Amino acid sequence: MSVLEYVKNSVIKGDDEQVVKDVNMAIDMKEDPISIINNGLIAGMNVVGSRFKAEEMFVPEVLMSAQAMAAGVEVVQPLIKEGDITNKGTIVLGTVKGDLHDIGKKLVAIMFDSNGYNVVDIGFDVPAEKFVEAVKEHNAQIVGLSALLTTTMPEMKTVIDTLKGAGLRDKVKVIIGGAPVTEEFSEEIGADGYSPDAGSATQLADRLLA
């Protein structure tokens, strides 16, 4: 088994101490830093994402794996020159106004971050105007809206309408998700896409920006 397989497996297990050891071993063996990230750390997180989607892994395990990946990135980061890592785009993520749920959105943020996106997480209970401000400030290509309550789902349309009013709707893709949200609702409010889980959210974004 290659050293990058060890890195990958340690990420899947969520063992941050072992990830740090494996990454240091990979560095000692002169593995390319970008390869350590892409073929070790991110490869492991991709497996975690697939298993989470298939309900073979659960939120606490995903968070442990994300922490392990972050520990590995911290070790390898100083060896990477600015501009070496491809940034697929910037995504503004937030849970809409009136909704205080955060864990699902955090998982989505982890998945986007580990798949090469620049993530701007603006939190929960976020009014539509704050989404607009964040899109302008960070020149985002995607806005991700989360809602866990049926009562706050209409706020997603409010955000889309506010983006339209600000002249930004044509410049960003809007994706939505959350337990009560459906594909039909996404079409109804004029979003660009709906994702049922954190694992497929990155695939949706990749398709929309392709």
Give the SS3 label for residue 120.
strand
Q: Where are the alpha helices (DSSP H) in the chain?
A: 3-13, 16-28, 33-35, 43-53, 59-76, 103-114, 128-138, 154-165, 183-189, 198-209
More confident of the two residues 196 and 145: 145
**According to the model, what pLDDT value does residue 83 have?**
63
* β-strand partners of 173: 142
Q: What is the pTM of this model?
A: 0.75
* Most confident of the ranges 13-17, 78-82, 104-108: 13-17
**According to the model, what pLDDT value does residue 12 have?**
97
**According to the model, what pLDDT value does residue 49 have?**
83
More confident of the two residues 51 and 197: 51
**According to the model, what pLDDT value does residue 85 have?**
67
Confidence of residue 129 (pLDDT cuts 50, 70, 90): very high
Taken in order of first residue, the domains within the chain and their CATH numbers are: 3-79 (1.10.1240.10), 89-209 (3.40.50.280)
Chain segment 146-187, per-residue pLDDT in tens? 999 999 999 999 999 999 999 999 999 999 999 899 999 999
